[in-house]
Amino acid sequence: MSIQIQHLTKLYGLQKAVDDVSFSVRPGEIVGFLGPNGAGKSTTMKIATGYLAATSGQVEVNGFDVAKSPIEVRRSIGYLPEHNPLYLEMYVKEFLEFIGKLYGLKGLALQQQVAQMIEMCGLGAEQRKKIGQLSKGYRQRVGLAQALIHNPPVLILDESTTGLDPNQIVEIRNLIKNVGRNKTVLFSSHIMQEVEAVCDRVVVINQGKIVADRLLADLKNEGIQLETVFQQLTNRSVVQ
């Protein structure tokens, strides 16, 4: 499995932000991690990327235990957090070169990878602009480019289209789908239509617990809408 989460729990004082969560993501899958705000999506993803420590449980990414091999895990992951952290005074190409160097790229390999990311993420016309001059949509493209610069096998995206206009949302969705052809993608959102547009499978979390894990194709074949799943969430029902 590209991502294996087993009995993951995260406590903040007496509050369980994540409560005995278990699920896995196979190589090549695009999995939507769906749930309302505060459900535990971001906490789970931050633990999987090594930014937070778990209270208990185990997470493996690309065969590496997050707690025991954090450096190997970070090399295996491209991560775009909900609040995209960028150096606004840097130029787009300069920033991508900087990130590439942090991952050990240099010389011709660095320049080729930067050029590839600029083309893949549609940043050609913006590469000589300062990041602070870009629209939010293009900043998200820069965030995706930096997440992909080291060609990681696993991509973790947390609410990557929040705050974008409809055209920008479609562009970022298409980019994620194209990237997902060659990578494992865990994509979080609280927007049901977004998950339907991008993902093969959906894992639904509510109040820190997994309440559904289904292929979207199966839900469609059974005539079940994601809105129905959310109604069941409200009723605290479990979708088998």
- Burial label for 147, CB within 10 Å (0-12, 13-18, 19+), is buried
Whether 148 is covered by a domain: the verdict is no
What was the pLDDT predicted at 203? 92
Residue 70 scores a pLDDT above 50: yes
- Domain with residue 30: its CATH number is 3.40.50.300
Whether 70 is covered by a domain: the verdict is yes
* DSSP state, residue 130: B
Whether 136 is covered by a domain: the verdict is no
pTM of the model: 0.89
What was the pLDDT predicted at 235? 60
Q: How many structural domains are present in the chain?
A: 1
- The 10s digit of each residue's pLDDT in 154-193 is 999 998 887 778 887 888 888 888 888 889 999 988 777 7
Domain, as residue range, for 223:
3-85+154-234
Whether 239 is covered by a domain: the verdict is no
Q: Which tops the pLDDT comparison, 167 or 9? A: 9
Whether 66 is covered by a domain: the verdict is yes
Whether 149 is covered by a domain: the verdict is no
Whether 135 is covered by a domain: the verdict is no
Which one-letter amino acid corresponds to residue 105? L
Whether 98 is covered by a domain: the verdict is no
Rounded to whole angstroms, the Cα distance separating 112 from 148 reads 13
